[in-house]
Amino acid sequence: MAQLPHPSPSPDRRSFLAQAGAVAIGGALALAAPLAGLGVLLDPLRRKSGDGGAVHVAPLAAVPEDGLPRKFNIVATRVDAWNHTPNTRIGAVYLQRPKGRPESAPTVRAFSVVCPHAGGFVDFHTEKNCYLCPIHNSTFALDGTVLDPKSPAPRGLDELEAEVRGEEIWVVFKNFRPGVKERIPV
Ligand code: FES
């Protein structure tokens, strides 16, 4: 039996299919932008270090040996959904060299400058030998613990992983959720 030729879509049907395709593509594009934006919100500072997140911060010799902290900027490549910006300041840390360590095995402690109460920036007060957040007067001891019990900060300063490699200091830089007792990376 002879086969009937497959009927080609009518002009109306072709027009409908073209419109449906356009709507589907438009919808996908409309969804893509907010999802990309959501990625930025969830992870606004995706650093590119290629080294487990560690960022080179400073030479060991730049941190005083007397145990007093010194503040350093964290400079890394900022990557978000639309931009790739090298050598950008993404935060800051205080570095300290605990006293009494042998020269052959120096260690460094790193504390975030961000107050765990509500995100103010703490300063180190040399004359009082403590960190102070000027926003609501939380104070922190040299080891990062809350000093004055009246401080509204719910936890001590956030300590970051720091490592001495040769004569250089590397830090795994993170931010943490303010206003809660637990340290929750954001
Ligand atoms: S933000 Fe630091 S004490 Fe409130």
138 and 72 inside one domain: yes
Q: pLDDT tens across 105-147, in order?
A: 779 999 999 999 999 999 999 999 999 999 999 999 999 999 9
Total structural domains within the chain:
2
Distance of CA 86 from the midpoint of ligand 1 (Å): 31
Range of the domain at 81: 46-172
The answer to which of 82-96, 127-141, 147-161 has the lowest mean pLDDT is 82-96
According to the model, what pLDDT value does residue 28 have?
Answer: 47
Identify whether 148 is part of a domain. Answer: yes
According to the model, what pLDDT value does residue 104 have?
Answer: 64
59 and 22 inside one domain: no
Q: Is the CB of 150 under 6 A from ligand 1?
A: no
Q: How far apart are the C-alpha atoms of 5 and 47, rounded to whole Å?
A: 60
Closest by CA to 113, choosing from 70, 76, 63, is 70
The letter for the amino acid at 28 is: A
According to the model, what pLDDT value does residue 11 have?
Answer: 56
31 and 62 inside one domain: no
Q: pLDDT tens across 38-70, in order?
A: 443 344 444 444 456 899 999 999 999 999 999
* 114, 131, 138, 180: residue to mutate for ligand 1 pocket, most atoms within 8 A of CB: 138
